[in-house]
Amino acid sequence: MIYCVIPEPLEGDLFEKLSRYYADDPHVEVIVDRRKASRRDAGSGGGGNRTLRDRRRRGVTGELPDLAELALD
């Protein structure tokens, strides 16, 4: 699905035109963005339970065998 998002101040000018333009395309939906504030404002806790972690895979524990010992004859 493709969403054609129209800012609320432009709804009167664009919504009907774009709705007609994309009427025959079932993969496009025209919507109006009615959000009043950003969810990513500075100081936003984002739910308050967020923890930052190192996503890299941890190294292998233990020791690796000597490659010379693994050589096939």
In the chain, where the domains are located: 1-35
The per-residue DSSP string of 22-46 comes to TTT-TTEEEEEE---S-TT-TT--T
Which residues of the chain are under the pLDDT cut of 50?
Answer: none
Instruction: Estimate to the nearest angstrom the gap between the alpha carbon of 48 and the chain centroid.
Output: 20
**pLDDT confidence of residue 68:** 73
* Residue in the block written with tokens 């009615």: 34
